[in-house]
């Protein structure tokens, strides 16, 4: 299984770690793979790409406006 870490996701989405953590806690983003190491959080690549594609579909539906939780504050 291919995985991505926090840094990769932050780079892809252009958001910070704190916002990503809030999204995970709120259930708005796929959960990381359970790991014994707290510092290392890996996410299945398939679930992340599926999530990104679903958000892109919402963006297209909304005429280019990003979903509320991805807007820059």
pLDDT of residue 67: 60
Burial of 1 from C-beta contacts in 10 A (0-12 / 13-18 / 19+): exposed
Please choose, from the candidates 1, 5, 16, the residue with its C-alpha nearest in 3D space to the C-alpha of residue 41.
5
pLDDT of residue 46: 92
pLDDT of residue 31: 86
pLDDT of residue 39: 65
How many structural domains are present in the chain?
1
pLDDT of residue 6: 84
The C-alpha torsion from 12 through 14 and 20 to 24, rounded to 10°, is -50
| pLDDT averaged per 10 residues, the chain (length 73) | 86 86 88 75 89 80 64 57
């Amino acid at each position: 299984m291919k995985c991505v870490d926090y840094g990769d996701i932050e780079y892809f989405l252009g958001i910070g770690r704190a916002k990503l953590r809030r999204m995970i806690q709120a259930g708005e983003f796929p959960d990381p793979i359970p790991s014994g190491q707290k510092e290392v959080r890996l996410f299945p690549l398939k679930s992340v790409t599926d999530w990104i594609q679903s958000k892109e579909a919402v963006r297209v539906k909304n005429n280019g406006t990003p979903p509320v939780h991805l807007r820059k504050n």
